[in-house]
Amino acid sequence: MILNNEQVGGLTTMSVIRFRPYPFQKGQKIHITDGPRKGDWEVISIDEKKVTLRCPVTGFEANWARFCYFVEEKDGPWPVSTGEDE
C-alpha cells in the first residue's frame, strides 16, 4: 500500500484515516458485520463510556465500552437471519 506523503512547511503530511465513536441512541437496531460482536443488536442504554446492547434472538445483554464506528445506513431486514453480509 502506498500512502500519499508530502512535505509542507517542514512537516510531513500523510493520508490519515480518522475514526470517531458512533453517537448511539436508545432503541436503535444495529448490525455489526465482523468480529466477536458480529450480529444484530438493539441499543438499550448508553452513557459516556459504555453501551448496552441486547440480542433480538437470544435476549442476551452485553455492556461494552463504546466501540462502534459508523460505516453506512441502509434499509433492510432486521434481524438478519441469513448470517451473510453484503
In whole angstroms, what is the distance from residue 61 CA to residue 58 CA? 9
Residue 11 pLDDT grade (very low, low, confident, very high; cuts 50, 70, 90):
confident
Please classify residue 44 by burial: count the beta carbons closer than 10 Å to its beta carbon, then call 0-12 exposed, 13-18 middle and 19+ buried: middle
Q: Is the pTM of this model over 0.85?
A: no
> Quick one: residue 48, left, alpha or beta (phi over 0 = left, psi -120 to 50 = alpha)?
alpha
pLDDT tens across 13-63, in order? Answer: 787 777 777 889 999 999 988 888 899 999 999 998 999 999 999 999 999
Which domains does the chain show, CATH number per domain?
24-68 (2.30.30)
